[in-house]
Amino acid sequence: MINSFVISQFTMYLIVMKNEWNELARNTVKGLMASNGVNAVELQKRLTELGVNETRNSIVLKLNRGTFSFAWFLQVLKALDLKLETKNI
């Protein structure tokens, strides 16, 4: 009984942490978009110019969930004409 409780608590911890990371991802991209005066429609146009096929709806869904690949994040940065500092990589 104790073991299942510990596992359950750990699982809940992982879910909470995942949600916090998703929220950070979502807020980061939305903040970058807002700082550059870009909405989902404009981002969709810019991504299309880069050869990235996204709909406005798929962008909104990704941002609302806060789940997207790092590759997609890099594409968004490129679409916003931003560069990722990679000094520590």
Q: pLDDT per residue over 4-13, tens digit each?
A: 555 576 666 6
Residue-level pLDDT at 51: 98
Give the distance from CA 82 to its chain's centroid. Answer: 15
Q: What are the sequence ranges of the domains in the chain?
A: 26-84
For residue 80, what pLDDT is reported? 98
pLDDT the model gives residue 85? 82
pLDDT below 70 — which residues of the chain?
A: 1-7, 9-16, 88-89
Please give the pLDDT value at position 63: 96
Token representation of residue 77 = 């940065």
Q: Which of 80, 85, 84 is nearest to 31 (CA)?
A: 80
Q: Which residue has the tokens 């962008």?
A: 59
